[in-house]
Structure 1
Amino acid sequence: MRALRLLPLAVVDALAVYGLVALGGQRSWWMFAALLAGTAIVNAIYLSKRAVPAKYLAPGIALLLVYQVYVVLYTGYAAFTNYGDGHNGTKQDAVAAILEKSEVKLAGAEPVPIQVAERDGKLGFLLDGRPREGWHPLPYPEILDRQTEIANLRVPAEGGTLKTSDGRTASLYRATYTYNAASDTINGGGAVYRDSGHGTFAAADGRELSPGWKVFVGTENFTSVLTDTEIRGPFLGVLVWTFVFASASVALTFGFGLLLALTLEGHRIYRSLLVFPYAFPAFMAALLWQGLLNTDHGFVNEVLLGGTAVPWLSDPWLARLSVLLVNVWIGFPYMFLICTGALQAIPPQLSEAARMDGAGPWRVLRSIKLPLLLASTAPVLVATFAFNFNNFNVIYMLTGGGPRDAGAPVDVGSTDLLITLVYKLAFGGSSRNYGLACAVSILIFAVIVAVTLAGFRRTRRLEEA
């Protein structure tokens, strides 16, 4: 029985050993040390007879460290680097890639017959059909299956590098650029390229070689958001719209939910029907509304508006209105449920006492129910604001952030929130800038923290009033 209990621990240890071997081969020593320490702690906990609470806490803490703490720390680290397309490797990798890109086929050199062979998982060439110990020629069907890998294979040879395009013959290539390790320069193309200090080799006339490498740039990503003319304008526009979208979404969903909660008080069937939009997945609802609001074939234009071609999702202002209304449609049932529960929790004696003193329904609502309702729902409103501030699903599924602002120097649209702008910086377009995206993510976090703290202070005042 004890052996069965230790079986999961044995599996974890086996996976840890595999990870340690892989990390040791990659010389990622800090991750090696972290994994080793974590494995030792897990074994100490589960082999002990006393650490019973820790046995239940350890899995959750481990997942928290891997999927939350590590991600946050790496985001913070990347925000201070130039990590992105063309800057995602080491300097040695960049030098090797530049020299490889400069290789040209040697003039006058005849192709030589080869056999593609493999030894210990590595590919190579056999020249003149001569066998080599441990090398096994690949059969032709396997050459076809691995033709991409073979086409990228470079075998050092006297005077250059051998490369093949057909798996049968190889040609000699020679790099036209050379790297001088002593001076840390690359010579070629009639210029000398030196380390610019920003992760690239640059010539005196400003020309740069690609790719570069990842380097620490300090607060450059943060300052560029506010000082770079290509980023500042779109960023500030998106920031304003994000606040408007989040604030309006909270106000409209809360107002609509409260109105329905007051109107349908006691009508159980209608209240049950209003929960349906909330039960439907939000991303599916956004996709459904994308079809309903289609300019040419959507239900809204074709049926409700009699064939009128209203550009709901292609006009900038109509697109903003559309995403806001769709978000209200998705969010109001939640606020309806919150307001219904909060209203039912208010003692009816308070309303009865106010009516006996001559207060009308509006006075009871404004002076009795609404203050008590806001005191109990304020934390929910703050959390809803934070959620809508990062409401990626509705924007991405409905408009993709569009319609695109053709005058903007970066890929940004009229309905983009900060979170979708981060996504586009990191994964959209032809030039991905992970460092800048991480910096904007940290700015989003700072804004949400500030708004949340202000909201909770306001909540405390409502509770004390």
Structure 2
Amino acid sequence: MAFPNTETEAVTTDPKRRRRQRTARGIADEASGGVRTLIVKLVLLGIVDAIAVYAVLVLVGFGEWGMIAIVVAVATLVNWIYFSRRRLPAKYLTPGVLFLAVFQIFVLLYTGYIGFTNYGTGHNGSKEQAVSALLASALERVPDSPAYPVSVVESGGELGLLVTSTNGNALLGTAEDALQAVPGAEFDGDTAVAAPGWTTLQFADVLERQEQVTGLSVPFSEDPNDGALRTPDGSVAYQYVSTLEYDEASGTITDTDSGVVYSDIGTGAFTSDSGEELLPGWKVAVGLDNFVKAVTDARLAGPLVYVTLWTFAFALITVGATFAVGLFLAITFNNARMRGRRIYRSLLILPYAIPSFLSALVWAGMMNQSFGFLNEVIFGGAEIPWLTDPWMAKVSVLIVNIWLGFPYMFLVCTGALQSIPDELQEAATVDGAKPFQVFRLIKLPLLLVSIAPLLISAFAFNFNNFNVVYMLTDGGPRDSDAPIPVGHTDILISMVYKVAFTGQTRDYGLASAYTIIIFVIVAVISIIAFRRTKSLEELN
């Protein structure tokens, strides 16, 4: 004989217990997500999947199969996590992890990868692109070339030529794609005038975009040695053949005018026996060459040494001065006898509230030698070269950076001082300690327990403080003796910027190598400093 479970019966028959159970189930259903939550989830996942599909289609065109595999794997993982009824922690962690991977980890890894290549001016594409560019740069019109009737067409902002061949067929090509047969083309008499999916430009449109039209070169075939078609007026095209001839089997380019042969010797450019290079070249791995060049090249060694020394001086002086000023003001305005402390504190943090780049621009105007506020008003019309003299420019950068940085130190020092118990100071005073002894032996060690890590982070920040240097002096005044566009107030990060993005030759590989060196320097200093600060933990 089966006996009823009295506990179960009580649960199912008690009205109050049943209401509580229904309420609990409702709360659980709300937590797991209702119809509205499901719709939002489907929409968001649909957007993620659409971005993934678009990325795959773009990457297929570049042949980046490794990146395609990563995109597909990540998209699949995201869908699995959010369609699963479990994996609750992963649902909260996934967005942050993805953003961390895209904006931090990927950037670091890609920068490291570029540092081991010759990526830069003249070496920023593939070998196939370099061959096409070289042959296109040496095109000459074939003297007996037939005249091909053409119509200029456009699709998605890309121009193309709709060509009528000598046998009456319609062919279409662009600067990237060679001529191909066009099924369904429309003819006006014996001339092709329209193609499906393309808009034919009228004569007025051709005139308006004449520079683009006349500069358009459409490859005649997949073989780059067959030359290209170009049109001088948008109605007739002629065949052009390059004076450079590419031999894919041997990997060489021959100048048919001079007979000089340029070979691929593994440096990312076709090079003759005499060492002359044909540019553009292409991107190749160069190993540690960039790092060796960064520290051993005689042209770069001089600027690198004094820029590095100034960077250390800039960071150390800034951190030390801002800490001293901030601590002094924090002690001053932490005195309970001072009236209006809140107003003074609010005024002192104003420099911290204004964007640093805007403050630097304002200071640059105030320090102008001819009509700046400092020279005209403060110094009565003096012509102090704040930003044009090498040493005065360094002093100016330090003044502005200290002015921008001391409110931060003032805030953290104020908070740290207020966290120190008053009983310690009272006990020391009773024992006969003088105010300076109280500060030096009690307050300062306790203050450094919480401030030391912030000082380390402030050093790392100022070591790479690009904004102030770039906005105030742009690294100037320029060092005319340096082989790279570097100035007397440039720090390492601004020098890296100039190596990568200014001048006629932009060397992204060398700039990435410098970036890695900066990262190593800051990391080593931070590790050593954090180990030193462990001794302060005993004060807790």
Question: What residue number does 2:195 align with?
Answer: 134
Which deviates further from its counterpart, 276-285 or 129-138?
129-138
Match of 1:76 in 2: 112
State which of 40, 58, 80 in structure 1 corresponds to 2:76. Answer: 40
Which of the residues 431, 437, 453 maps onto 2:511? 437
Please state if 1:400 is matched with 2:474.
yes
For the 8 Å contact 1:82–1:214, the answer to whether it is kept is yes
Separation in 2, partners of 1:384, 1:358: 36
| 2:211 counterpart of 1:178 | no
Question: C-alpha displacement at 1:119, in angstroms?
Answer: 7.7
User: Out of 421, 424, 449, which is 1:347 matched to?
Assistant: 421
AA in 2 matched with 1:403: P
1:17-64, CA deviations, whole angstroms, 9 ceiling, x for partnerless residues?
Answer: 222222223321111111100110011011111112211111111111
Q: Secondary structure at the match of 1:430?
A: coil
Instruction: Please tell me whether residue 163 in structure 1 is matched to residue 230 in structure 2.
Output: yes
- The amino acid of 2:253's aligned partner reads I
Query: Aligned pair 1:276/2:350, yes or no?
Result: yes
Counterparts of residues 298-377 of structure 1 (less than 5 Å):
298-377=372-451
| Cα separation, partners in 2 of 1:54 and 1:298, compared to 1, 3 Å | same
Aligned equivalents of 1:374, 1:84: Cα separation in 2: 45
Distance change >3 Å, CA 148–CA 20, structure 1 → 2: farther
Other structure's SS at 1:114 match: strand
The residue type equivalent to 2:85 in the other structure is: K
* Structure 1 residues 148 and 47: alpha-carbon distance in aligned structure 2, compared to 1, 3 A threshold: farther
Q: State the SS of the aligned residue for 1:461.
A: helix
Aligned pair partner of 2:160 in 110, 123, 141: 123
Q: Any residues of structure 2 matched to 1:214-225 within 5 Å, and which?
A: 214-225=283-294
TM-score, reference length from structure 1: 0.95
Gaps (5+ residues) in structure 2? 1-34, 166-189
> Amino acid of the residue matched to residue 8 of structure 1?
L
The amino acid across from 2:201 in the alignment is L
Deviation at 1:315, TM superposition (A): 0.7
Q: Percent identity?
A: 50
Deviations along 1:197-243, one digit per CA (max 9) or x if unpaired, are: 21111111121101111011000101111110111111111111110
**Bigger relative contact order (CA 8 A; separation at least 6):** 1
Note if contact 1:117-1:126 (Cα within 8 Å) is conserved in structure 2. no
- Give the number of aligned pairs: 465
Contact 1:119 1:134 in 2 (8 A): no
Give how far 1:369 is off: 1.3
- 1:179 and 1:18 map into 2 onto residues whose CA distance is 35
Residue aligning to 1:410: 484
Of the structure 1 ranges 169-178 and 134-143, higher mean CA displacement relative to structure 2 is found in: 134-143
| 1:108 to partner: Cα distance | 6.6
Separation (CA, whole Å) in 2 of partners of 1:253 and 1:311: 24
Q: Is the 8 A contact 1:425 1:433 kept in 2?
A: yes
CA deviation after TM superposition for structure 1 residue 110, in Å? 7.9
State the TM-score, normalized to the length of structure 2.
0.82
1:227 equivalenced with 2:284 (yes/no): no
C-alpha separation in 2, matches of 1:113 and 1:105? 16
RMSD of Structure 2 on Structure 1 (CA): 2.1
Comparing 110-119 with 29-38, greater Cα deviation is found at 110-119
Secondary structure class of the residue paired with 1:131: strand
Partner of residue 173, structure 2 = none
Contact 2:269 2:280 in 1 (8 A): yes
Contact 2:151 2:235 in 1 (8 A): yes
State how 1:104-123 maps to structure 2 within 5 Å: 104-107=140-143, 114-117=150-153, 123=160
Aligned-pair CA distance for 1:77:
0.6
Kindly indicate whether residue 312 of structure 2 is the aligned counterpart of residue 240 of structure 1: no
Q: Work out whether 1:30 is the aligned partner of 2:66.
A: yes
Query: 1:113: Cα distance to partner?
Result: 5.1
Q: 1:15 to 1:147 in 2, by over 3 A?
A: farther
Cα distance in 2, alignment partners of residues 272 and 147 from structure 1:
61
Distance 2:427 2:385 in 1: 53
**Gap runs ≥5 in structure 1:** none
Greater CA deviation, 335-344 or 150-159? Answer: 150-159
- Does the 8 Å CA contact 2:329/2:410 hold for their aligned counterparts? yes
Equivalent of residue 324 in structure 2, options 227, 251, 255:
255
SS at match of 2:191: coil
Report the Cα offset of residue 439 of structure 1.
Answer: 0.7
AA of the residue aligned to 1:283? F
C-alpha separation in 2, matches of 1:138 and 1:273: 63
Distance (whole Å) between structure 2 residues aligned to residue 341 and residue 157 of structure 1: 73
1:153 to 213, 216, 219: 216
Q: Deviations over 1:295-353 (max 9, x none)?
A: 11110001111111111011111011000010000000110111111111112222222
Say if 1:122 and 1:316 are closer, same or farther in 2 by CA, change over 3 A: closer
Is contact 2:149-2:191 (8 Å) kept?
Answer: no
8 Å CA contact 2:390–2:489 kept in 1: the answer is yes
**Match of residue 207, structure 1, among 265, 273, 276:** 276
Structure 2 residue aligned with 1:18: 54
1:197 aligns with 2:266: yes
**Do residues 143 (structure 1) and 206 (structure 2) align?**
yes
Kindly provide the CA deviation profile for residues 403-423 of structure 1, in whole angstroms up to 9, marking residues without a partner as x. 110011111111111111111
Match for 2:271: what amino acid?
A
User: Which of 1 and 2 has greater Rg?
Assistant: 2
Read off the aligned partner of 1:143 and give its amino acid letter. V
Q: Which residue identity is paired with 1:64? A: L
Deviation by residue 1:61-97 (Cα, 9 ceiling, x = unmatched) = 1111111111111111110000001001111111111
